[in-house]
Structures are given as structure tokens and as C-alpha cells.
Amino acid sequence: MSGLTVLSRWLLLGEWRAHPVRALLAVAAIAVGVALGFAIHLINAAAFNEFSSAVKSLSGQADIQVAGREPFFDEAIYPRLARRDGVAVASPVLELNASIPGKGGALKIIGIDAFRAPQISPDLMGVPAADKMFDVLADDAVFLSAGASAWLAPSGAIVVRAGTSDFPLRVAGPIMQARAGQRLGVMDIGAAQWRFGLTGKLSRIDLKLQTGINREAFERALARELERDFPGRFQVGQPNDENQNSRNNNMSRAYRVNLTVLALVALFTGAFLVFSTQALSVMRRRSQFALLRVLGVERGQLLRQVLVEGSSLGVIGALIGVAGGYALAATALHFFGGDLGAGLFSGVRPEVQFTPVAALVYFGLGLGVALLGCLAPAYEASRAAPAVALKSGNDEVALARLARIWPSLVCLLLAAALSQAPAIAGLPLLGYLSIGLMLVGAIGLMPRMASAVFTVLNRVSLRRKAQSPVLALTLARLANASGQAAIALGGVLSSFSLMVAMAIMVLSFRSTVDEWLGQILPADLYVQMKSGGDTAAFGPAEQAAMAAAPGVARAEFLRTLSLSLQADRPNITLMAREFDMADPGKSVDLVGAAAAAPPGAMPALVSEAMLDLYGVKVGGRISVPLNGLAREFFIVGAWRDYANQSGSVSIHLSNYRALTGDLNASNVALWLAPQTSAGELTGRLRKLPFGSALAFAEPGQIRAMSLKIFDRSFAVTYLLEAIAIAIGLSGVAATFSAQTLARAKEFGMLRHVGVTKGQILGILALEGGALTALGIACGFGLGFVISLVLVHVVNPQSFHLTMQMHIPWGMLAGVAAALLTASVITALASGRYALSGGPIRAVREDW
């Protein structure tokens, strides 16, 4: 082993032994950032892959799928496809989410042709008892997957709801094969059509092509043919093709990216902790490094030494983070499922899979962050002139380069430009880069900011006749040692500004949703079916009975439908409702001005997500598939719809019924007559023949439930924010502690000239409080600017939604007080330790 290697190891281990807490905090910050980012990646990858596999399992070995843009289409197209040249087998499929009384969710039921499905989707076939082979054709039989059986726990039969009526289905056996956790029921397609009132309707047709047929060419030809003969009615694609993958991926991509970026906030904090750790270490050891230079150690060797010290923190932190991320992902998937509370991947049970490539990427991020953090201190250590560095009291010279203002201004100008940049591939990547540059630029301005502020305060203090010596020494120190002050200020600024930005963004989102709910819930009572799914609905008779119930002053009905406008995007929601066509702003929260529909045009309202996702405009037109035809509507306005991220279109109920003949309703809004309470009306409606199937909610209950769902969806965000705050507080404490301990010689000299221990502790308390107060003030300003980017750039580009700004003053004041208290206590505790050695020992090394 060479002498230089021994020296390098000795210096590294000696530094860790001397300051273990600082090293552990830097390692912990990097480990937490890597663990959170890697865990979120593993969780979402597992959930998405399992979800895609579950979707693919329903398609079996189909080469081509023909689906309608509406949930169901007329089966008259089936013979044409079955007889088409190149088609070996055509299997009709009816897919629906059946309402299950007494259950909060729905059971996906697949209606299949028992004679054709085995050739394309053998895994979907039911396995009947040996003596009941014809159950696959029975009109009262259903086969359940293991996940569905575990969920329903059937005792020979299950009860399913169609409309407001319930009927039993006999459980005839299991399904051949289904994904773990997949809730699935299979029955004969004719029986499903009859039982659910969908006679003559299909969801899709799976095609298996003859040997030698080119799938891509067949797909293109069939798509052109169907679009020519049935414009806007069908979608043609290959199962699990690029469009379908993009469609599934778009459901959660923005959510995953935002969580990942939030997790990387901890990594950014780790980078700054590495920087402060290495900067203070280099500053304290300048004379040692200078002596090594005099003894023959070259600049490059010193540079490598400091880089090795910083990178060792990154390697340890990244390794712990990768292992911790895997453990965290496995735990989260086991207890919370794959959607992290967002409701994006229901009905699947994903298992974590270790991915070496992703692990290497996140390991590289951790190591890269550490190297980035120690780059400037390493360069300073290697460039310092030995003759100057050997002298004591030149610490501020080492930090002189931090006061350069032009790099910070360049970062801030770039950040301002990038904040106005559009999304890339639907993601606000440049917006996030803008936020990172803002942080770097603002931290770089801290030396100048500290010097300017404390110089002014020092001059003001000097003009006073009766001046406290403690205050005078404190302001003189802060005004003339701005470089060291900037390191502490940077820790406060980074942690507090990010916390401010995230707190403002989350509260703004939550408060805006709360206000929006208050506007879109004008009725006194809302009624829907107890069970979920899309097979439960109110027919004309039930609607008339509720509207005529004593105590009902007015009733409005809503019909919702899932439609596909574009093959590579998730379905939009069509809402047929009653609204004032002349003044739609009375019913919804409009974004911008409304436009008057021309005579004869059918009006429509689009959610603001539609403006981004589909490029439609108020005053323009939109084509919507209804009853097998593309219907054109005039867009009279855009409105905020926080319930449908993938977009929604609202049309008037009367137009919907005239175009489709569908007289059913999904939800009912009721206004109370005078002297009638919601409880009284609820009791009367429960006495109706179908009253046991009804669920009731008042506006306040819906708001409370919606906000509870919101908080659950943002639970991970709250957790990541709390972790970032905790790391920031720890980093601030470690920085103040290190700076205080490094000033033992300074305190010894002050003791020699007559300054008491109590006065020195007062100086430290004032310094800690003043620096933290300045950091909090700057952090709030920077955090507010970052929140503007999050609210007005990142959020609209990610989720295509806008919101109003709200500032959580109480929470911010509490965190600011905690930061201030932590810094003062840390400074006092470190000061007591630094003063414990006596003034003579403290200055004995001073040259």
C-alpha cells in the first residue's frame, strides 16, 4: 500500500472520527433522498406493470382489437369482421363494471362466447364442475377469479344490480387463470346482455388473424375502412401496443413524476449538507492542507482527497438508500397497494421487483449529488496558496469566491426564462429545472445578502450612543464574515423555501378544491346508488318517483358516461346535466369568458384539461361520439373540473336524451321545499320501492369526504415534505454546531481581552437568531416565488388544472419558530462545549 493511500485513508477516517454527526447527517440526507426516489420508482413500476399485465390478460392472444369510442356499440358489426379476409377467429366481448349491493367497489364482468373465446382468450374460460359442463352457457351462472372470490366470499351465489333491481348469479366455478388480486367474473355473453339490459351490445371484438397476415398492414386497412364507413365510432389497435401503453401510462405519469421530484428534494438538501460539511472541513483544515503542500503533496492529490471524502459520503448514503428504497417499496406495496393513495391502480396486487438499472441510476444520483456538493470545497483546498493558508485567521479568504455575484444572476435569469417554457412530452421538466436554478442562484447570493444587511445594521448600531458590547461584536462579526454566515444561511434558505413552496402549493390546491365543491354542490340533498359500478342507474319511473316525493321543491338529474376521443389518451367523462344555456356560469366555475352558441348549435362545456389535452377552444367545436355517430357541439365555456383529470365534456341533458334515447340518470340533486329537512326527505325516499338501494349525502358530507380523499391522495406528499423539513432542521443544527466549534480560538482570544463566557454565549445566540431570521425572510420570499412556479406552471402542465393561491400563515410561522429556536439552542449548546477548554488551550495554536 502506497504512502499516499495510507495518508488519504488516515485523513478520511480522522475527519469522520472528529465530526461523526456531520458525516452521518450528510449520509442520512443522501440515503433518504435515494430511498424515497427509488421506492417511488419501484412502487409505480410494479403497479403499472401489473396493471398493464392485467389488461393484457383480458386480451389473451388477440392480434387485433376493435373497440367502440363509447362503452358499448351495436353487435351488427360483428358478422362483417368475422367474415373479413384474413380473420381466423372473431370473438365478441361484453365488458362492464357490475354494481354489487353492499360493496364499495364494482366487479368487472366479462361476457364471452364460449365457442370462440377459447381460441383467443383461454385464460378467461370458466372451469365448470365435471357434471355441469353446460354452465358455461347458463344464463344464471358466473365464474369468479380468486381475487373476486376472496373479495365477495360467496356462499354459492352473488347478488348483482342492474338499474335499481337486484338479481342473483350462481357461482359455477373458478376462472382458468387470472392475475393475483384481479377481481373478475366471466359469464356467457348472451346471458350478460340479457341480464344487464344490453341486448345487442358489445364492448369490443377480439380478432385472431390467419397465418401469414401482416398485423400492421391489416390494422391500418381495417382502421381506414371503419373510419370511412363509421366515422368516429371505432378504434382499431393491437393489444398492449404503443397506444394502449401510452394510454395506461398517461393515467399516472404526472403523479409519478411529481412524487419523484419531491423525493429528490431530500437529495438536494443532501447536496447542500455535503457542501457545508466539506466547506467547513476544508476551512478548518486549511493550515493542515497547506502544511501537506509544503511537505510535497501536489494540488491534484489534495483535490482528489477532498473529492474522495465527499464521494465516500455519497457512496455510503446511496447504498443505504437503494437498500432502504427496496424495503420501503415492499412495505408500501404490502400495506397500501400500488397507487400510494391516489386511486390510480385499483384491482391489482403488484409485487416489488428489484431493477438493477434503476438501482444504478439512483445510486449514481446519490454519488453525483455528493460529488457536486464537495466540488467547490475541493477546488478551494487545491488552489489555496500554502504561505497564506498556513496563517491562522484567514478562513474568510477561503470563502471569498462564494461572494461572486455573476453566477447567481445567470442562474436566476435562466430560471426566469425556463419558468415560461412549455411542457416537454406533457411534463413540466423545464419548470422543475427552473426551480432548481432558483435555489442555486438564491443560495449563491447569500454572502452578498448577509454582508449588505448586517453592514447596514452594524452602521446603524454604531450611531447609537449606548451600545451593547454583545450586539456590537455580533454585528461586526456578521458584517465582516459573510462567507461563513452564508453557509448557515444557505441551509436555512434551502430547507425553509422548499417547505414554504410545497405548503403553499398543497394548501392552494386543497382550498381551491374546497371552494370548487361549494360552488358545484348547490342542491340540498344528493342521491345515488349505494353500490359502485356502471350498471346501477335510475330509470324514468324512479326519477319521477323521487321528483314527486313530498318535500321536493326541485329535482335535477345527471347522466355520466365514459368516452374515448383519442386512442392514446385515457377516456374522458361525458356529463349530461341541466344548466342555463344562456348563462352557464351560474352552474359551474368558468375559466375565462363564455361564448354564445350560434342558432341551432348544441352547446357544450369542456373542462380546462380539455383545452390542454385536446387543443379545443372556447368558441370552437368538439365532436363527441354518441349512439354510434359523431355529434358536433359548440363550446360555450371552459370550467374547472377537479374530479376528472383526463378531461370532461358537459352537454345539456335534453340534448343527450334526444340524441341517444337513454333516459337513465346516474345521480340526482334535490332541493328541499320550505319546512322540510334533509333528514325528513331522506326518510320518505327510503320508503320508496327501491329506497333500500339509495345512498344520500348532503353538500357538507360530500365536501368532507372529498377533502378526506384529497388528504389521503396527498399523504405521501405530506410525508415527503415532513422528511425534507426534518433533514433541513438537522442540517441547520449541524452547520451552526460545526461553525461554533471551529471558532474555539476566536472565543479564546475574546476571553483573553475580557469578554465573559455569558457574553460570548449571548453573541452566539444573537448570531444564530439573526442568521436564521434573515434565512427565514429570504426563504419565505424564495419559497413564494417557487410556489408561483408550482401553482401556475408545474401544476397546469402536470394535471391541466389551475388553482387560486392560499398561504398557510399559521403553519409557516410554526416552522419558522422551530427553525429559530433550533438554531439558537444549537449555537448555545455548541458554544458551551467550545468554551469548556479554557482560553489558553484555545489559542495555543494561534500563529
Per-residue model confidence (pLDDT) at position 845 = 46
- Domain extents in the chain: 1-58+253-394, 61-238, 446-523+700-847, 525-697
Q: What is the dihedral of CA 587, 593, 594, 595, to 10 degrees?
A: 180
For residue 579, give the nearest of 567, 563, 590, 570 by alpha carbon.
590
Cβ-defined contacts of 291-294 (< 8 Å, 24+): 291/386, 291/390, 293/386, 293/389, 294/386, 294/390
Whole-angstrom CA distances from 50 to 42, 250, 713 are 12, 15, 20
Q: Which residues pair with 169 in a beta bridge?
A: 158
Per-residue model confidence (pLDDT) at position 823 = 79
> What parts of the chain have a pLDDT lower than 50?
1, 245-246, 341-342, 344-345, 393, 396, 398, 841-842, 845-847
Per-residue model confidence (pLDDT) at position 187 = 95
Per-residue model confidence (pLDDT) at position 763 = 83
- Characterize the bridge pairing of strands 648-652 and 572-577: parallel
Q: Which residues pair with 648 in a beta bridge?
A: 573
In contact, 99 and 106? CB cutoff 8 Å: yes
**pLDDT tens readout for residues 796-836:** 888 888 888 999 999 889 888 888 887 788 778 777 766 66
For residue 291, give the nearest of 749, 740, 847 by alpha carbon.
847
743 membership: H or E segment, kind and range = none
In contact, 322 and 37? CB cutoff 8 Å: no
**pLDDT tens readout for residues 406-444:** 888 999 999 999 999 998 877 788 888 898 899 888 888
Q: What does the block give as the cell for 741?
A: 466549534
Per-residue model confidence (pLDDT) at position 471 = 82
Per-residue model confidence (pLDDT) at position 846 = 44
For residue 6, give the nearest of 326, 438, 274, 305 by alpha carbon.
305
Q: What is the 3-state secondary structure (H, E, C) of 595-633?
A: CCCCCCCCEEEEEHHHHHHCCCCCCCEEEEEECCEEEEE
Residue 97: strand, helix, or coil: strand
Per-residue model confidence (pLDDT) at position 147 = 87
Rounded to 5 degrees, what are φ and ψ at 660?
-110, -25
For residue 492, give the nearest of 277, 274, 269, 763 by alpha carbon.
269
Per-residue model confidence (pLDDT) at position 101 = 86
In contact, 479 and 453? CB cutoff 8 Å: no
Per-residue model confidence (pLDDT) at position 847 = 39
Per-residue model confidence (pLDDT) at position 608 = 92
Share of the chain above pLDDT 90, in %: 32
CA distance 270 to 35: 12
